[in-house]
Amino acid sequence: MKQFLSVKDVSNINALVDKALAYKASPFMDKHLGGGKRIGLLFLNPSMRTRISTQVAAQNLGMESVIFNVDKEGWALEFTEGAIMNGTTVEHIKDAAPILGQYFDILAIRTFPSLKNKEEDYSENIIMQFVQHAGIPVVSLESATLHPLQSLADLVTIKEELQQSTLKNRPKVVLTWAPHIKPLPQCVANSFAEWMNAWGEADFVITHPKGYELDSKFSNGASIIYDQDEALAGADFVYVKNWSAFHDYGAMLSHDNSWMLTEEKMKITNKAKVMHCLPVRRNIELSDEILDGPYSIVTKEAGNRVYSAQAVLSEILKFGN
Ligand code: CP
C-alpha cells in the first residue's frame, strides 16, 4: 500500500480486515516491523480516537510517533497556489510539506471540510497537497470528504460480529441519518457508503430525510429509502450518523427529532447491533437507552480503531516505499 486516502487504496478489503483482526488477537506480533521508523500525526482539527488509536497502532509496530496540532501549535498554513501571503497564513504548504517529508517515514493528516465551498472541499485540496509535496506515504486521519480509517474499523467490527454470532453471512446494514444541533461533514457517511459498496457482502440501505442525499459517487450501489421504519425492518446492523446536506451544501434541512433511534424503533430490526463513529450527542443523535443498552457496539467499534490503523500502517511499512 502506497497511501491510505480511501478504499481505492486497498487491493483486498477482506485481507486487510483479517489482518486487523489478527492484530487484535496478537497486537505485538509485528513489534519490530516499524523499528527505526517515525510517523507524523498532523491535526488541523480536533480528535480523540483517531489520534490515540493511530499512536497506539504505531507503538504496537515499534514505530515512533510525533503528534503536531497544527491548528493550535503550528504556523497557519496557506494552501492557495500563487497566494500573496499578506494575511493570517504564515507558511505555504509547498514549503512545509517537503520538510515534514524529511522528518517522517509516514505522514498522517486530519483536516475537516469548510462546508462552505463544495468544489474546494470535494477536490480534497488540503490532503492532496500534502500528498503532492511531502514525498512520503500519506494516511488520512479524516479528510474533507472521507474517513477511511473509521470505515475500516467499522467493517472490522461488522465482520467480527458476524464471526462471533449466528447472524447470516450476508447481513442487512442500514446507514441512518440522525438529528444534530449543527451542520457536520458528510465524511463518515460518504466513507461508510463507499466501503460497504466496495465490500459488496451486505444488503446495504441508506435512509435519511429528503434533501440529505449523499454524493452519488459514494452512495451508488446502496438502496436509498426515505422511510426510516421501512429501512430499519430486519436490519442486522444500524449505523447512526448525522451529516449536513451535500446538494444544498452544508445546510441543515431537518431538525426532525423523530429520526433519533429509540428502543421502540429497534423492535423493527433483527435485534440489530448499533454503531456510531463517536463522539455522539446523547439524546440528540442517539438515545441513552440505545447507547447504554445491549444493542450498542460503539465501544468495541472504537477499540477496533487501533487494529485497523495497525493493519494499514503495517501494509505501508511493508510495501509503501
Ligand atoms: N471517530 C473519530 O474519528 O473520533 P475522533 O474525532 O475522536 O478522532
Q: Which residues pair with 96 in a beta bridge?
A: none
Residue 250 to residue 256: CA distance in whole angstroms: 17
CA of 49 to the centre of ligand 1 (A): 5
Residue 258: is its pLDDT beyond 70?
yes
Quickly tell me which residue has 493550535 as its cell.
Answer: 72
Phi, psi torsion values for 300, nearest 5 degrees: -60, -45
Q: In the prediction, which pLDDT does 75 show?
A: 95
pLDDT digits (tens, 9 = 90+) for 33-53: 999 999 999 999 999 999 999
Averaged pLDDT for residues 118-138: 98
Averaged pLDDT for residues 154-172: 91
pLDDT grade, residue 283 (50/70/90)? very high
Please name the residue whose Cα sits nearest to atom 7 of ligand 1.
Answer: 48
Residue 254: is its pLDDT beyond 90?
no
The grid coordinates of residue 15 equal 485481507
User: Would you say the CB of residue 277 lies under 6 angstroms from ligand 1?
Assistant: yes
In 235-252, which positions are buried (b, 16+ CB within 10 angstroms) versus exposed (e)? Answer: bbbbbbbbbbbbeebbeb
Give, for 38, the enclosing helix (H) or strand (E): strand 38-43
User: Would you say the CB of residue 129 lies under 6 angstroms from ligand 1?
Assistant: no
Q: In the prediction, which pLDDT does 320 show?
A: 78
User: Would you say the CB of residue 150 lies under 6 angstroms from ligand 1?
Assistant: yes
Q: In the prediction, which pLDDT does 68 show?
A: 97
Q: In the prediction, which pLDDT does 4 show?
A: 98
Cβ 130 vs Cβ 107: under 8 Å = yes
Query: C-alpha distances in angstroms, 18 versus 52, 157, 200, 267?
Result: 22, 11, 16, 32
* Beta carbons within 10 angstroms of residue 136's beta carbon: 22
Averaged pLDDT for residues 293-316: 98
Q: In the prediction, which pLDDT does 321 show?
A: 65
Residue 168: is its pLDDT beyond 80?
no
pLDDT digits (tens, 9 = 90+) for 66-93: 999 997 899 999 999 999 999 999 999 9
Q: In the prediction, which pLDDT does 298 show?
A: 98
pTM of the model: 0.97
Please name the residue whose Cα sits nearest to atom 3 of ligand 1.
Answer: 50
Residue 60 to residue 30: CA distance in whole angstroms: 8
Averaged pLDDT for residues 250-255: 92
Q: In the prediction, which pLDDT does 296 show?
A: 98
Lowest-pLDDT range of 167-176, 213-222, 296-305: 167-176
CA 23 to chain centre: 19
For a pocket test of ligand 1, which of 43, 54, 142, 285 has the largest count of ligand atoms closer than 8 A to its C-beta? Answer: 142
